[in-house]
Structure 1
Amino acid sequence: MAGGWSRDGAVQDQIDSTVDDAVRRARSQLPVGESLHHCEECDAEIPEGRRQAVKGVRLCVVCQGKRDAEQGGHAGYNRRGSKDSQLR
């Protein structure tokens, strides 16, 4: 069912694009390379289990938690362009 001037499936295409963008952004933030033995922020030792579980880890759990909290939730993109979606 088309809504107004949009073609059939346009809303689903917007949803798919938003999800694809979020996945691409998350993958780009994954650590790469060899894990460090000590946190690059506070110099605390990174446990062996964390180094094996997260390849390329560079921060201890505490510092990673702080960084995640600072980044917060990403608002995403306003693909609809309507006023009500811009007011959120």
Structure 2
Amino acid sequence: MATGWAGDGAVQDQIDATVGDAIRRVRSRLPSGPGSTHCEDCDNEIPEARRKAMPGARLCVACQEASDAEEAGFAGYNRRGSKDSQLR
């Protein structure tokens, strides 16, 4: 029977789902396969130490930092819904 109230553990379930989504999103962006010897953005050589530390690297450190800064604005998902839907 629907009561209009969230069940026990619903808040924790939302938190777990949000964290799980974030982990899957980040893992999907990890480089895989053979790395590049030169940066795909600026064509500078990627140092051997970076290629060993980060297998599959395709960007130099400077370009990777710039790419990460562009994507830092992602805020995640709001799973709570509107107040109106919770009050009905």
Instruction: Give TM class, smaller chain.
Output: 0.7 to 0.9
After TM superposition, the structure 1 stretch with the greater mean CA deviation from structure 2, 53-62 or 73-82, is: 73-82
The residue type equivalent to 1:36 in the other structure is: S
For structure 2, the residue ranges without an aligned partner over 5 or more in a row are 84-88
After the TM superposition, which parts of structure 1 deviate over 4 Å for at least 4 consecutive aligned residues?
none
Q: TM-score, normalised by structure 2?
A: 0.85
Q: Does 2:39 match 1:39?
A: yes
**Residue 29 (structure 1) aligns with:** 29
Q: Highest Rg: 1 or 2?
A: 2
Equivalent pairs: percent with the same residue? 68
Q: How do residues 3-82 of structure 1 correspond to structure 2 at under 5 angstroms?
A: 5-82=5-82
State the shift of 1:35 in Å: 1.0
State the aligned residue count.
Answer: 80
The residue type equivalent to 1:66 in the other structure is: A
Deviations along 1:34-85, one digit per CA (max 9) or x if unpaired, are: 11111011111101110011110000000001111111232111111135xx
The residue type equivalent to 1:77 in the other structure is: Y
SS at match of 2:81: coil
- RMSD over aligned Cα atoms: 1.2
For structure 1, the residue ranges without an aligned partner over 5 or more in a row are 84-88
